[in-house]
Amino acid sequence: MAFALSKMQVTSSAFENFQAMPGRHAADGDDLSPPLAWENPPEGTKGYAVICQDPDAPLVQHGQQGFVHWLLYNLPGSVTSLEEATAEGTRGHNDFQRNGYGGPMPPEGHGTHLYYFWVLALDKPTALPEGLSMTELLKQLEPHLLGMNRLIGTYQRG
């Protein structure tokens, strides 16, 4: 188990760490998942999952705070990048009540929110069903987690 940051590095060609995300990746824009890439995974990595969550969202449900924007899993260990609007992997159930990516959409006047794009490195490939919630996904992945790291984007509605 490794719910601590690893040496893996996560980047995007669309935005820098702690910088504004382009509107095309927001729900009030084109609502496209951003391109992501990662390198230096923990030794023995055989699969990945990606989670995007907004911890600044004023929402508490199922014992978790924040808003889940994206759950993507069943990514093989050979995948080290995702294109914009990727078709890779299996989609989980986000807090927009649908499977797949849902971009930033903080409440108007709520200021700038942070969006954590977590990449989880796993010790085995997964074949999990579509539509898992964050709680269900983490329950399945936690025993196989080797390490994780994140890229943080920001977004504020005009």
Tell me which DSSP letter residue 42 carries: P
Structure confidence by residue, pLDDT tens digits, 89-112? 999 999 999 999 999 998 888 899
Tell me the CA distances in angstroms from 146 to 13, 122, 129, 132, 141, one per residue in order: 25, 5, 21, 21, 10
Structure confidence by residue, pLDDT tens digits, 68-91? 999 999 999 999 999 999 999 999
Specify whether domain 9-155 bears CATH 3.90.280.10.
yes
Stretch 115-131: mean pLDDT: 97
Q: Please check the confidence at residue 114 and state whether its pLDDT lies above 60.
A: yes
What global pTM score does this model have? 0.94
The DSSP bridge partners found for residue 52 are 70, 117
Question: Which residues have CB under 8 Å from 70's CB, separation 6+?
Answer: 33, 50, 51, 52, 92, 94, 100, 101, 102, 117
